[in-house]
Structure 1
Amino acid sequence: MAPKRTPKSAAPAMSQATIRKLVADSVVAALEAQAATMTNADNTNRNTGQGEASVARKCSYKEFMSCQPFNLKVKFATGTLTEEALSWWISFAQPIGIEEAYKIT
């Protein structure tokens, strides 16, 4: 027995003009939302003193070392490895753990 066919929907098809208007309205709404987000971010940066006029502060060697700069260098360097070098790093880091591997200088 053949399956019964259901009649097609009687809803009218949308015209090209209607579709274009919907797309245009969506784009305008997205652009307005993005502009509002960027305005809020700019105000936040101005209020916290961050931005173009920020000034670097001096720190002592002890303060600098407390930021663990060597770990940062290792993390950055290992993040740029590819192919055989990445395979080597993974085989090196797995047995000792990634946190211990980051501590190497």
Structure 2
Amino acid sequence: MDDTFDSDAAGSASAGSTTAGPDDTRPTEEILAAWWAELCAALGLGAVPIDPDALLALAGRAAHTVVRPAAPLTTFLAGYAAGLSGGSRDALDAALTTSHRAVDERSHAS
């Protein structure tokens, strides 16, 4: 599996997006917060009952324990599982806990 991102294949950013370019001097946290809000709005979501940092932590652990492309897959599946379980804060917390446990088990099995 290729472990790179092809920005040309993904398409270009639309006008008015929060895409950070090489001259963007805003702190990463500010860029991510703006992107989170923009994407939630684009998806028609209201307030999402989870801290984006919790997802980033899970993504980082999956990337460093499994393989880098596991990061988006892990967070997607955790969100999907939470949605299937009702999408409440409790469902999100349970999905994150289960996902962290799976990553831990993977690291101990290696």
Same fold (TM over 0.5): no
Instruction: Please report the TM-score for the alignment, with normalisation by the length of structure 2.
Output: 0.22
Instruction: Please report the TM-score for the alignment, with normalisation by the length of structure 1.
Output: 0.23
State which structure, 1 or 2, has the greater radius of gyration over its C-alpha atoms.
Answer: 1
